[in-house]
Structure 1
Amino acid sequence: MSDITPAMEFLLSRRSRPAKLLGPPAPDRTALRPILTAAARSPDHGKLEPWRFIVLERAACRRLGDLVAERGAALDRPEEDIAKARSAYDDSPLAVVVVESPKPSEKIPQIEQTYSTGAVCLSLLNAALASGWGANWLTGWPVSDRTFVEEGLGLAPHERVAGVIHIGTSTKTPPDRPRPDIDAITTWVAE
């Protein structure tokens, strides 16, 4: 097969849009549903669904921006760290939090559930981009703070945030960044 399909063309040219360059409008619930559905089709050994989504609309993002400031001060984070993390929420038109929610299983190790959750993050990012939206996968210090994730997002003690996928309209196209040298990172094994 020598022709590149449209799907491969997309994958070979896809690139995230920095969250700071995303503005309104964002997908509404009807437009977001197929994006979430595509993400949920990620590999999931054992069909455990060890992940879930929390959709943060604009007001919820701003509420979390306030909580970032509060938690940052309580944790004695530098002002520039607080401002950067807060702006990711304050400026976001929409964000989808991908929560790793592992399930007890004798057959499926925890690490495979973690990998599945990471696959959901990338699938969600790619589905948003393929749908014509700008999108970016972020984490940052707030999602490592148990108080932030439990009070702000309602996570259970066994859950953690794998990614916050910010989605909106790209206000500017950033320059492409250098990509990995495939020959430098690939080992071919014939026998």
Structure 2
Amino acid sequence: MDALKLLLTRQSMHALQEPGPDAEQLDVILRAALRVPDFLNLKPFAFLIAEGEGRERLGALMRQAAQASGRPQEDIERAPKMPLRAPLVIVVAARARESKLAPLFDQQLAAGCAVMAMQMAAFAQGFAGVWRSGWPMHDDNLPGLLGLGPRDRIVGFLYVGTAAKPYPPLPNPDPAEFVRRL
């Protein structure tokens, strides 16, 4: 796919189904993440892959986090089903690296760029996906349950699969509405 067409036609898809990426396609997705801007080449991210039964394990950890955090019963019951909405879920975390020159925020931005790069790589290979956040991303208990460190932060959940319905028409906002010249 042409790079500009990819950038101008990418959109999120919440309705996902099998098939998801195979091992080779997932490797391309992960390699794209490793090409994002990354000051000092710290690689301040981690990718936790949940596919197959791994999605059920992720859901169980989400449920455990919801319970530990005192989330409403509706969230606790819904948590185990959340990762089942796609064949592949990639939990992306910003892994805090010690650096006197690269602030933590810069490292978190690099991890966020990795999510976008992975979604673009999936889209370029014919897959659909959506970058989800919600309460699990901001939960204080889930990172530890996932084996992340105390300074690490989840920056998103990338759900990837095949579009289960047609994409809606692309909006065409005018860039001028978002620009102010200095």
TM-score, structure 2 length as denominator? 0.89
- Alignment partner of 1:24 out of 18, 24, 36: 18
Q: Is the 8 A contact 1:58 1:92 kept in 2?
A: no
Aligned residues: 182
Tell me the C-alpha RMSD between the 2 structures: 2.1
The amino acid of 1:172's aligned partner reads K
- Written as runs of structure 1 = structure 2, the 5 A alignment for 1:155-170 is 155-170=148-163
CA deviation string 1:54-97 (max 9, x = no partner): 11112111122233334334434234434554432133311111
Which of structures 1 and 2 has the bigger CA Rg?
1
Is 1:186 the equivalent of 2:158? no
- The residue that corresponds to 1:127 in the other structure is 121
- The residue that corresponds to 1:102 in the other structure is 96
Runs of 4+ in 1 over 6 A off after TM superposition: none
Deviation (angstroms), 1:143: 2.9
- The residue that corresponds to 1:175 in the other structure is 168
Aligned sequence identity (%): 34
Deviation (angstroms), 1:22: 0.8
- The residue that corresponds to 1:49 in the other structure is 43
Identify if the C-alpha distance between structure 1 residues 81 and 179 changes in structure 2 by more than 3 Å, giving closer, same or farther: farther
Unaligned runs of 5+ in 1: none
Is 1:139 the equivalent of 2:133? yes
Identify if the C-alpha distance between structure 1 residues 103 and 59 changes in structure 2 by more than 3 Å, giving closer, same or farther: same
CA deviation string 1:23-70 (max 9, x = no partner): 111112222001110111000011111112111112111122233334
Unaligned runs of 5+ in 2: none
TM-score, structure 1 length as denominator? 0.85
- C-alpha distance in structure 2 between counterparts of 1:93 and 1:40, whole Å: 22
- C-alpha distance in structure 1 between counterparts of 2:173 and 2:73, whole Å: 34
